Structure formats: C-alpha cells, structure tokens
C-alpha cells in the first residue's frame, strides 16, 4: 500500500519523537482539530509516546458531533413522515436528538437508509419517483463538494423528489472562535489535512497571525501526525508564527480549485449553530436560494423545534478543548457507545468514543 505503510513505520515515528524530545525546552498545549486525528493518535498510541511536556487537547472537527441538535430533531421529524426515504451516513443514525434517534424512527416503521455518498441517494430517488428522498448533508469542507455535486446532478436529471437537509460547517471560523475565547489554552494547532486538501490553507494565515499561534497542516497516519507535532513545536520553540504544510503529498496552499468552485456554485456562507458550542457567525454553508427546490427545510414544514440536550453532557466543552472526556461525570457510566447521551460518544470521530474505545479512562 503505497503512501500508507511507509507512514506507519514505527522506527520512523520513534525517530521523529526523539527529535521532538531534543527540540523541547518547556510544556506546550496543542490542539488536533480533527476527530479522525484524535482516533488515529489513540489507535497508534501516539499520546503515550509523546514527551510529557506535550499536552494534546481535542478540537471540534467531528461532523457528527457538531451537527446542531435542532437539525437532528428536524431530520427525525422529516424521516418519520410517510412517503419519505431518509438517507444518511451510518454514524448519524445513533446520534441522540431530543430523546430519540434515527434508528428509533426506523424501528417505528420509517424508511431510513444508510448510504455512503449523496450520489447513492440520487440513485434511490431515480428508483422511487413516488417517494421524497432526503439526504442528510452533514460535514465539513470535505463532504461539501460531493453534496454540492448531488444537487447539480439532481437538477441535470430533472429530479423533483430529491432534497438535502444541509448542516455544513467550516473549520476556520471555529478555530477563530476557539482562539478568541478567554479560556483557550491552545498554543499550537494541527490542521486537518483532508479539509486543507479541498480548501488549501491560505484561510489560516491571518488567524495564526492574529492570535500568534503556529499551525501545521497534518495528515492522518502516525508519521504524519508525529511530523505535524514536531513542526508545530519547532515553531513554538523558535518563537515563530507560521502555517506550515506537514502533509505536502496531498495539500497545496490554494487547495482543490475545481472543488471550491462547485461548493461556491451551490452553497453560500451562513451563520451556523454547532452542537454544544452554540452559534458561530459565518461558520457554515447553506444552499443558495436558486437551489430552494432541493432544500429539505423548505420542502418539509417541520416548524420550530425546541431541542433538549442531556443536562449531564459536557461535549461542548470537550469540543473546544476546555475539558477531556473523563472529566464528564457520565463518561463510561451513564454514557457509553451503546447508550450515548451525547454525539461525541457515538461518532467514529468523537473524542468521547475515542477515550472509551482505547481505554483512556483517566487524564
Ligand atoms: S461522555 Fe457522554 S455525556 Fe459526557 S461529554 Fe461525552 S458524550 Fe457527553
């Protein structure tokens, strides 16, 4: 497996760790923004290899975790309507809304299907012209191009029974909000390599400069992550603020321009609520008005929904790097992957799920 196995080479990872130990003169707090990186760090035991001076805190880069509770509740309300086929990525089915989830809608007779791409939902719409097919379009910049393409494809095919429930969120405004908080302890960032593969990393340059926080675009294999940490620490130790690219085999500064063009054609920037965190201005994408015909929120009158989060859940603080999962009194007792109280215990990218799965029960 070219470009995979060589980045899992234990000797090379240990070599980077040794260089990191030589570089360090004091403690630093770094945030990995992406939940996929959180899981990779624990899966490969990188957190246990790191020198004790390095503390990793976990960011909000888990699309399932940050999808607003109101939108999960809207998804539930749409999915239970007769004549609807509701399509979603698998992780979303167990995400608790206000008291139930998409699995329980399916158990009660709703037609809720797991798909692997929005184009699967397009196929279902073609096969079932008598049904309304809705795709739950969640995610960061990584999933936006395919979701935008599905809307364009539906228009080309003349489909009148396809729509998307949009919950797109964007990383840079969230990063800005985290660093702007007076409680932030984050001194350096590992940026999400896959997001930067789409969007480039030019958007982070002014944020790094504004808060004097260095950042490194970082991949997902152990050597990539170790390298991203080393580059960030080097900048911190040298008192240098920059955005470096530690994932050059996939990322360029301008990013994927055709993908960005498709996103801009279909979506426009909007304010967006993040689950557990609240509203972050200009942090999401919504369908442009010319695509209203494909907007599930306009097609289905689900009305105003008053969501209710579990009062025990501190996922919002976890997602901002202010607390760690074992700080939550419900962690591993009232809240487990089998009986989750919050989305971060459900998702394959959620920090609570990572701590539970890899048995990091105490900090
Ligand atoms: S352990 Fe469960 S209840 Fe606690 S923060 Fe995580 S998801 Fe929320």
Task: Give the list of residues 6+ apart from residue 85 with CB closer than 8 angstroms, or none.
Answer: 111, 113, 124, 128, 131, 132, 133, 134
Neighbours of 281 (CB within 10 A): 12
The pLDDT value recorded for residue 120 is 97
Strand order in the sheet with 28-34: 54-61, 28-34, 188-192, 215-218, 243-245
Number of residues that make up the chain: 363
Arithmetic mean of pLDDT, 138-150: 96
Predicted confidence band of residue 361 (pLDDT cuts 50, 70, 90): confident
Burial 111-140 (b: 16+ CB within 10 A, else e): bbbebebbeebbebbeeeeeebbbbbbbbb
Cβ atoms 95, 75 nearer than 8 A: no
Arithmetic mean of pLDDT, 223-251: 97
Predicted confidence band of residue 363 (pLDDT cuts 50, 70, 90): low
The distance between the two most distant Cα atoms of the chain, rounded to a whole number of Å, is 66
Give alpha helix (H) positions in 59-201: 63-66, 69-79, 102-107, 118-127, 144-157, 171-180, 193-199
Q: Is the pLDDT of residue 101 over 60?
A: yes
Predicted confidence band of residue 105 (pLDDT cuts 50, 70, 90): very high
The pLDDT value recorded for residue 301 is 78
**pLDDT 10s digits, 260-311:** 999 999 999 999 999 988 899 999 999 999 999 999 999 997 766 677 788 8
Between 338 and 152, whose confidence is greater? 152
* CA nearest ligand 1 atom 7, residue: 342
Token readout for 87 is 């399509």
Which residue do the tokens 């240098």 mark? 240
The pLDDT value recorded for residue 302 is 76
354: enclosing H helix or E strand: helix 351-357
Predicted confidence band of residue 185 (pLDDT cuts 50, 70, 90): very high
Predicted confidence band of residue 254 (pLDDT cuts 50, 70, 90): very high
Q: Is the pLDDT of residue 93 over 70?
A: yes
Residue 75 to residue 85: CA distance in whole angstroms: 11
Between 342 and 115, whose confidence is greater? 115
Burial 57-66 (b: 16+ CB within 10 A, else e): bbbbbbbbbb
Arithmetic mean of pLDDT, 105-109: 96
SS3 217: strand
DSSP codes of every residue in 244-273? EES-TTT--SS--HHHHHHHHHHEEEEEEE
What is the percent of the chain with per-residue pLDDT over 90, rounded to a whole number? 85
C-alpha distances in Å from residue 64, one per residue of 11, 71, 144, 167, 211? 34, 11, 14, 10, 28
**pLDDT 10s digits, 42-91:** 999 999 999 999 999 999 989 989 999 999 999 999 999 999 999 999 98
**pLDDT 10s digits, 18-36:** 999 999 999 999 999 999 9
Q: Is the pLDDT of residue 6 over 90?
A: no
Burial 88-100 (b: 16+ CB within 10 A, else e): bbebbbbbbbeee
Instruction: Name the residue of 310, 329, 341, 348 to mutate for ligand 1: max ligand atoms within 8 A of Cβ.
Output: 341
**pLDDT 10s digits, 190-201:** 999 999 999 999
C-alpha distances in Å from residue 59, one per residue of 80, 319, 340? 33, 5, 19
The pLDDT value recorded for residue 309 is 80
Predicted confidence band of residue 1 (pLDDT cuts 50, 70, 90): low
* CA nearest ligand 1 atom 6, residue: 352
Neighbours of 213 (CB within 10 A): 24
Q: CA end-to-end span of the chain, whole Å?
A: 35
**pLDDT 10s digits, 329-358:** 999 999 999 889 988 998 888 999 999 999
The pLDDT value recorded for residue 73 is 93
Cβ atoms 284, 170 nearer than 8 A: yes
Cβ atoms 248, 41 nearer than 8 A: no
Burial 177-187 (b: 16+ CB within 10 A, else e): bbbeeeebebb
Instruction: Name the residue of 66, 276, 311, 318 to mutate for ligand 1: max ligand atoms within 8 A of Cβ.
Output: 318
Rounded to an integer, what is the distance from CA 262 to the centroid of its chain?
Answer: 20
DSSP state at residue 52: T
d(CA 215, ligand 1 centre) in Å: 28
Task: Give the list of residues 6+ apart from residue 132 with CB closer than 8 angstroms, or none.
Answer: 81, 83, 84, 85, 161, 163, 299, 300
Atom of ligand 1 nearest to the CA of 343: 7
Atom of ligand 1 nearest to the CA of 312: 3
Ligand 1 pocket (Cβ < 6 Å) reads: 312-315, 318, 325, 328, 330-331, 335, 340-342, 344-345, 352
Atom of ligand 1 nearest to the CA of 315: 5
**pLDDT 10s digits, 121-139:** 999 999 999 999 999 999 9
């Amino acid at each position: 497996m070219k470009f995979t196995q060589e980045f899992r080479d234990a000797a090379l990872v240990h070599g980077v760790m040794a260089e990191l130990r030589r570089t360090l003169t004091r403690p630093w707090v770094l945030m990995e923004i992406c939940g996929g990186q959180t899981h990779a760090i624990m899966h490969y035991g990188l957190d246990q290899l790191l020198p004790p001076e390095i503390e990793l805190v976990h960011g909000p880069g888990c699309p399932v975790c940050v999808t607003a509770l109101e939108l999960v509740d809207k998804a539930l309300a749409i999915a239970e309507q007769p004549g609807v086929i509701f399509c979603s990525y698998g992780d979303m089915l167990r995400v608790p809304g206000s008291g139930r989830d998409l699995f329980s809608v399916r158990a009660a007779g709703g037609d809720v299907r797991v798909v692997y791409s929005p184009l699967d939902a397009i196929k279902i719409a073609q096969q079932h012209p008598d049904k309304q097919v809705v795709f739950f379009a969640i995610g960061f910049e990584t999933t936006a191009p395919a979701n935008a393409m599905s809307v364009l494809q539906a228009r080309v095919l003349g489909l009148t029974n396809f729509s998307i429930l949009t919950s797109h969120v964007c990383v840079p405004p969230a990063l800005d909000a985290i660093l702007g908080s007076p409680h932030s302890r984050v001194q350096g960032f590992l940026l999400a390599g896959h997001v930067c593969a789409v969007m480039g990393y030019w958007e982070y340059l002014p944020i790094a400069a504004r808060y004097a926080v260095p950042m490194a675009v970082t991949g997902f294999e152990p050597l990539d992550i170790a390298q991203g940490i080393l580059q960030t620490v080097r900048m911190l130790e040298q008192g240098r603020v920059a955005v470096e690219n530690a994932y050059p085999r996939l990322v360029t500064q301008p990013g994927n321009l055709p993908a960005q063009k498709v996103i801009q054609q279909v979506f426009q920037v909007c304010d967006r609520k993040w689950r557990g965190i609240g509203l972050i201005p200009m942090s999401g994408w919504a369908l442009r008005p010319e695509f209203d015909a494909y907007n599930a929120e306009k097609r289905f009158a689900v009305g105003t929904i008053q969501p209710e989060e579990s009062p025990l859940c501190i996922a919002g603080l976890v997602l901002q790097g202010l607390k760690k999962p074992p700080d939550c009194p419900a962690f591993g007792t009232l809240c487990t992957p089998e009986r989750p109280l919050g989305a971060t215990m459900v998702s394959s990218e959620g920090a609570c799920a990572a701590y539970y799965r890899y048995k990091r029960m105490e900090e």
